[in-house]
Amino acid sequence: MSVRALWIISYERGESVAVRFSRRYPTVEQRAKCMAGSLYVSVPEDGTVLQLLLTELGLSDSDKPYMALRDDCLHQQRSPALELHVEGPSGGVLWPMLVISQGPLILACLAVVDAPADPRPPLASLFSVSQGLTLLAGLQAFLCGSGSKPDREGLTSRLAMMPSILLQICPLGTPLDIPQPGASSASAMPTPAGTQKQPAWKTGVHRGRAVVNVALTEMVRSMQYGNRNRQDLWDVYGTVTCKCEVEGVLPNVTVTLTLPPNGSPLMDVLVHPCVSSLDASVLTAMSVEDCDSSSFSGPYKFPFSPPLEPFRLCSYTSQVPVPPILGTYQLKDDDNQLRITVSLKLHESVRNSFEYCEAHLPFFNRDQMGSVDVKVSSGQLEVSKEKNLLVWVLGQKFPKSREVSLEGSVSFSGELPGPTDPLCTDLTAYIKLYFRVPDLTLSGCCVDQHSVQVYSSAKPRIVTSRELLSSEYFIWNSTGTAPVSSGHMML
Amino acid sequence: MSANWPERISAFLRSPSQFLCSTTSDIFLAEVLHELRDDRASDHIKVLLLSPLLEHPTLLCPSVFVGEETALELMSVFAQCSPKSLPLRCHLLLALTSVLLCSCCVSSHTSASQDFLDLLLQMAQDTNDAQAGAALHPLRTTACDCLRELEACLPGLLSQRLELLSSLRQQENSRLHQAYTGLHALALRNAVYLLTQQKEAGAGDLKAALGSNEGFVWGEGADSAHPNSESHSDLALFSPLTLGTMGKVPSLQTGLDCKELRSLLSSLLEESYLLTSLSQAALLRQLVEVLAMVPAVSPTILRAQLLRLLGTCKVCLLHTTLLMKAAFTDSLFNAEDEAFLLKRLVGLSQHPLLSTPEKLFYIDCILHFPENRPISSGDESLPVLLTPRLAAALVPTVFNDSVSMLARLNLLSLVYLEEGEEDREGQGGRGLAYLYDHLTSLLRIVENQASREMVVTFFRASFLFLLHFCHVERYSEDLSQRLCDLYLRRTRLAPHLINLADRTQDRLEESGWAVALLRALQRTITEAPLSQLTLQDLRWHLRILARVAEEGEVLQRATLNFLLCVITSSSSALCVSGDWRLGNSVLGVCRRLLLHPSLDSLLTPLADLLQHLTCHYGETDIQDHARLYYTLLTTLSQEKLAGVLAQRGTERGRQAKVRSLSAIMGENEELTSGLTVHQTERPLLRLVKLDKHEPDECRPEHKPDSEPACETESSPGQGGIEDYRAQFQSSSFASEITLQYHLTHTGVHDPHFDKLFSIRLHFDLTDGHYEEVSDISVPCLFRTRKPPTVRLRLKPKQPYHTTLRASAIFTTEDGLSWHSPLADLHVAFPEVFLPLLTPLGWAREKKQRVFEGIWGEICSGQSEGDLTNTATSLFCDQLEDSAVGELVEKYFQRYLVSDLDKGRCNVLFFLPPQSHVLLKVITEEDAVQVHIATDNWKLLPYINSYLEDITKEIHSTQQVNGDV
């Protein structure tokens, strides 16, 4: 249940590739050697590991269109664990090399196989794999900081902290914890000596005014085809984020999610490990099977003892009866000119009050746009600087009719070729919607301020909020062939 | 001493082998330890200095002895550390753990490891900061972690301290209880396991173990389990017992009476919530193992935690739940739970909020789902409950990333394969139709200028699809047709197509799909209109056709016709252009055709083609080869032809064992590897200094020509010094020293390198005191034979000691070239000495005269205060007569100008290019005086330390002799 070694690699396409940090755990290596017996392969030096890793990830020699070692169709890297083929006299296969990559960072660790090596045990039976994955994900979150891409200096300074971080979370190869990026030590006080054991995931106790903040964010995804043969799809997933400043070593807080009377149940509920108990009915509904309407639909109670830093209390998915915005998109090819017709309709159940709402119409595999002769019934139309994208800014409100339309034609007579995309050829094209509606959830799920219970001496201030955000909200051109996006379509 | 420690340490960590080429591990270790003791070094640097010990202890401490010494040093550094240097002290503990465990000190039960264990335990016992205060939390945590690692590597070490560990865990209320819990749970697990291995151990023994508070167990249990003990077979100590692959879980028969254990487990479970997810998962796994070994405690004790674990968003906790299920099956999970868990896994495998690696892991968990009633026990078998309807949530789409897409395709292929078996005509159902649709949408993407990654993914997906559904002709035939169409549009995909054909042929030999694909490709190429053929396309066509020509079943007439058309058509400028690579590709096809079973029917057109190439191709090499092939074709029988050409076997060159550049062969990847110089990981060769000077080697350079012989005639007994000086008018005279070495293998034993050929040794200077050294060639080196002698000629500019970087390039038996670094070559100061170089036949007295002459010049130069380079000095030491004799015999013999007489003698060292060091050795009573005169005063310090060294040596041998 340990890792033999750990690497942090920065990879920038066309630029530099380097092992920025590495750590080996020789005592774990001893055990690995013992378990593997004659199949033991020692961990090569960093340079070699880097090369092998890039080959397996298909990143090496990017200038060569085909390399047998890298592109062989026999290599099926299906699992999150790679095999590294070490050459030379002490060569063999290093497995399982767990890899997580995000942006320019590649994190990898070699998990120990704590089972007889022959025949190779299934990945799912190796405890060290989930431990390694958790460790890597934690390190990644720490290194990348709040943004999705780490800035260069921030990354360097965080890399410099790695030795002291690892001293705490993985001193001898057995992961104990993940780095706590958001832990604010300012308000944390050392624990008073008492009889109650302090949770290991809590760095101190809060002193001061008690505040509980519960934020509910729902994301809506959609694929609309405007095609009788192809069912439109949409779904919703939500997360509840909490920040609790409550006194006590192990204070009790309960947050309750409620649905409107006829609301469809929350599915695929996942909870934070600080949730102390769960009712079985909370977990029963699942998106992968048809749920019957009689099933449990709340209230969903989550009793927990909060850590100091903000955390995701729970997440869920939900199937709502209608998409918030229903659209159609039609393109007609007309002599290097495209005739465009778009209409969008806001569903009546959705509050007509957006923070922002935009429709993006990108065009691929064509020259830049020349003349744009397009009229919109509401909002403004902008042409991107690169002349390959129409941005229709709908603003804060749909008109009273709740319907807007766009019509006109665009010619592609620009001097430069626009961006390419292997999917969007010919008339395969889409509109992508971006919007945010404050104080709304599609599932109807909400956290009532009064339902938040805090068992502590001081009466806390309780703040709750909710919002709806779009995510991967596509409307495909109904005159072209649109790609299939889900297996549910065919059933 | 070294200001740039950060740089050196990072160089070491980056590549220890390369770093240790320039120094040795013991020197480096000594430097590190020295710097650690230095009070001026900052804590930050010291933490850095510990990292080599932390990460590569086996390199720096290869033996128990060195490990023990190092550990003692580190312990004393630890003792002297300021209490405030917390990070340093923590890292010292970690380094100590690494060193002691990896150099086998702990398993050898050395005193340092005992002291260290006592130290750790003492630190760990300060629960709730009773003594040292909260500031020392990190140190205490680290001490627990170290103890835990020691227990992990030597299971059972703490098995007699369970009571102590249990009370420490219970007492601790700060966050540190996690460290104590981890330690306690591991020790408990190991202790219970060791009990199961004892005959007739029962409830009483278990109770005794739980309440034990004795010492460390160095005995059998721990020792026999040590990783390094050869005979050890009980791997279960390190590995989880619940795998199933271990066979039956050993169990401890306790009867129903194990209240203590049950209450201990409950209290551990109750507190599990207070641990971080990672530690919690580890704790639960250990408890699962304990429960599996002690059947008297029911696993239902875990049930209270189960819902919390099933709902968790943490992959490590859910994984533990799966392992619980694998261990206890229906005694903990009923059929309903099982169905729930599987659906949950499917849901998680496509959950929008989880990361890709997590989702992939869950897909893998579905494939190895621990069923309560498993039907088959294959490598990847689907759980019965995974219906096509349920699995539909995981169908691959073009929006997936490559890895997820392939994982889903694999899973769904397995699902629909089962579905298809129930299907009527074996044509696959709707699910299969969907998968094929998906494959064709990928193909369309590839047609539309997809990225390289997408192309590779498509071919992998195709291979995966064929692996499962090759028998469904409707799809497999359509796929090969589509691949041909794709190829015509994107000819640069040729290597991918060849690869796909190769792999399907290997894996699906009986299906014949690969041959059908190749046949279809041949047809596609040969039937396409020639007018549209570009040069670039032709290159790829030739690669495909060469591969097609390897198939005996495929008729080759069309290929030949195509080649004839291309080469001979009047409009073709190919022959005129004389492109070597293109010509070679054509010849590559021809070469394979020469081996084709239907060669008889191809004879005429092939001969025509070769003849045309011979006469008209604008490249001589291609012409020559074509002529050779033509001759072979027209004169040899088919069997002989096969014998000549087919030496690389039927492996299609992919795994050819014998590499030979002189073989008649086409361009392929083997050739590339044969032409590349490979790098060895570690030094394979070394040079071992030969101390003996062969008699003829005394005067390496001085091969007297006729002149000196005449001189001895003409001026007998006259002006020795002028004659001597005259020799130097020839600039090459006595300008070199020759050192002899044996070239041998290093300790690295690899049969691959047992026989080396054409070894070329290259030397690089590290300073400016010598002229560049020329390379040395050694014909061969066999491990079984006497090592060859290497003569290294050095030409000093200044006669100082030096270090040479050495490396070797050589060829192994299989024809590959290798480059390997050698350890640095140190040339010591005395190795530069040569004796007085005089023409042959000079009498001893004449040499003596030269000596006196030079001596006189130096001394007079001194007395006149001349500012030349001359200098005199005196070296004294207490040495007895016999010792002086030994000194002279051992070190000066070769350089004597006069014999040792009454404790006196004269010695002359000549140091190329032009320096002399003259010694007059005078013994008086028990002291020896060495009068030194030299014409290069810069040599004095070296001479001095040389004399010190050798007298010290003499002293020590005298001492030994005296003792004896």
- For residue A130, give the nearest of B148, B315, B499 by CB distance: B315
Band of pLDDT at residue A416, cut at 50, 70 and 90:
confident
**What is d(CA B192, CA B477) in angstroms, rounded to the nearest whole number?**
60
In chain A, the residue whose alpha carbon lies closest to the alpha carbon of B323 is A125
Percent of chain B past pLDDT 90, that is, above it, reads 42
* pLDDT at B528 exceeding the cut of 80: yes
State CA A185 to chain mean position distance: 27
- The pLDDT of residue A14 is 64
- The pLDDT of residue B571 is 60
In chain A, the residue whose alpha carbon lies closest to the alpha carbon of B679 is A88
**What is d(CA A80, CA B669) in angstroms, rounded to the nearest whole number?**
30
10 Å CB burial of residue B754 (0-12, 13-18, 19+) is: middle
* pLDDT at A484 exceeding the cut of 90: no
- For residue B239, give the nearest of A115, A174, A483 by CB distance: A115
Cα pseudo-dihedral B693, B697, B698, B699, rounded to 10: -160
- With CA atoms as reference, report the closest residue to A427 among A380, A386, A480: A480
Judging contacts by C-beta atoms under 8 Å, the chain A residues touching residue B275 are 199-201
Which residues, other chains included, contact A308 with Cβ-Cβ below 8 Å and sequence gap of 6+?
A183, A184, A187, A188, A202, A203, A204, A206
* pLDDT at B222 exceeding the cut of 60: no
List residues bridging with A19 in a β-sheet.
A9
- For residue B403, give the nearest of A77, A135, A175 by CB distance: A77
Which residues, other chains included, contact B651 with Cβ-Cβ below 8 Å and sequence gap of 6+?
none
pLDDT in tens, B637-686: 887 777 777 654 444 433 333 333 334 454 455 556 666 788 887 888 88
Judging contacts by C-beta atoms under 8 Å, the chain A residues touching residue B312 are 270-271, 273
Judged by average pLDDT, the poorest of A61-70, A243-252, B321-330 is A61-70
Contact A130 B246 (CB under 8 A): no
Which residues, other chains included, contact B659 with Cβ-Cβ below 8 Å and sequence gap of 6+?
B670, B673, B674, B814, B815, B816
**What is d(CA B871, CA B15) in angstroms, rounded to the nearest whole number?**
47
Judging contacts by C-beta atoms under 8 Å, the chain A residues touching residue B152 are 2, 27, 31, 174
Judging contacts by C-beta atoms under 8 Å, the chain B residues touching residue A282 are 311
State CA A352 to chain mean position distance: 28
Judging contacts by C-beta atoms under 8 Å, the chain A residues touching residue B316 are 130-131, 133-134
Contact A127 B128 (CB under 8 A): no
pLDDT in tens, A270-285: 999 999 999 999 998 8
User: Minimal Cα–Cα distance from B100 to chain A, Å?
Assistant: 10
Mean pLDDT of B258-287: 94
Helix (H, G, I), strand (E, B) or coil at A165: helix
- The pLDDT of residue A458 is 77
Phi, psi of B273 (to 5 degrees): -60, -25
List residues bridging with B821 in a β-sheet.
B807
Instruction: Answer whether A241's CB lies under 8 Å from A312's CB.
Output: yes
* pLDDT at B691 exceeding the cut of 90: no
Contact A283 B307 (CB under 8 A): yes
**What is d(CA B97, CA B74) in angstroms, rounded to the nearest whole number?**
11
**What is d(CA B266, CA B287) in angstroms, rounded to the nearest whole number?**
10
- With CA atoms as reference, report the closest residue to B741 among B796, B650, B806, B662: B806
**What is d(CA B72, CA A237) in angstroms, rounded to the nearest whole number?**
59
Contact B245 A196 (CB under 8 A): no
- The pLDDT of residue B11 is 93
Beta strands B677-679 and B817-827 are parallel
Decide which of B129 and A289 is more confident. Answer: A289
- For residue B403, give the nearest of A78, A125, A164 by CB distance: A78
10 Å CB burial of residue A228 (0-12, 13-18, 19+) is: exposed
Quickly count helices (H) and strands (E) in chain A.
7, 24
Judging contacts by C-beta atoms under 8 Å, the chain B residues touching residue A112 are none
Residues of chain A with CATH 2.60.40.1170: 211-322+442-475, 325-438
State CA B41 to chain mean position distance: 33
* pLDDT at B915 exceeding the cut of 90: no
In chain A, the residue whose alpha carbon lies closest to the alpha carbon of B87 is A164
* pLDDT at B631 exceeding the cut of 50: yes
User: Minimal Cα–Cα distance from A227 to chain B, Å?
Assistant: 18
* pLDDT at B911 exceeding the cut of 60: yes
ipTM: 0.96
Beta strands B789-794 and B776-782 are unpaired
Band of pLDDT at residue A183, cut at 50, 70 and 90:
very low
Judged by average pLDDT, the poorest of B219-233, B333-347, B389-403 is B219-233
Contact B353 A173 (CB under 8 A): no
The terminus-to-terminus CA distance of chain B in angstroms comes to 41
User: Minimal Cα–Cα distance from B351 to chain A, Å?
Assistant: 8
Which residues, other chains included, contact A33 with Cβ-Cβ below 8 Å and sequence gap of 6+?
A40, A42, B227
Instruction: Answer whether B409's CB lies under 8 Å from B458's CB.
Output: no
Judged by average pLDDT, the poorest of A96-110, A393-407, B371-385, B493-507 is B371-385
**What is d(CA A204, CA A221) in angstroms, rounded to the nearest whole number?**
39
> Chain-wide mean pLDDT for chain A?
89
- For residue A131, give the nearest of B246, B316, B492 by CB distance: B316
Instruction: Answer whether A242's CB lies under 8 Å from A214's CB.
Output: yes
- The pLDDT of residue B754 is 87
- The pLDDT of residue B768 is 79
Judging contacts by C-beta atoms under 8 Å, the chain B residues touching residue A89 are 681, 748, 750, 752-753
Mean pLDDT of A190-217: 85
State CA B541 to chain mean position distance: 40
**DSSP 8-class letter at A433:** E
Mean pLDDT of A412-416: 86
H-helix segments, B450-556: 452-469, 473-489, 494-507, 513-527, 535-548
The number of residues in chain A equals 491
Q: What is the DSSP string of B406-445?
A: HHHHHHHHHHHHHHHHHSSSSS--HHHHHHHHHHHHHHHH
- With CA atoms as reference, report the closest residue to B549 among B501, B582, B483: B501
The terminus-to-terminus CA distance of chain A in angstroms comes to 41
CATH T-level assignment (fold) for domain A211-322+442-475 = Immunoglobulin-like (2.60.40)
- The pLDDT of residue B425 is 53
Class assignment of domain A325-438?
Answer: mainly beta
Contact A198 B174 (CB under 8 A): yes
Judging contacts by C-beta atoms under 8 Å, the chain B residues touching residue A2 are 152
Which residues, other chains included, contact B80 with Cβ-Cβ below 8 Å and sequence gap of 6+?
none
> Chain-wide mean pLDDT for chain B?
84
Contact B313 A270 (CB under 8 A): yes
pLDDT in tens, B20-67: 888 888 889 999 999 999 888 899 999 999 999 999 999 999 999 999
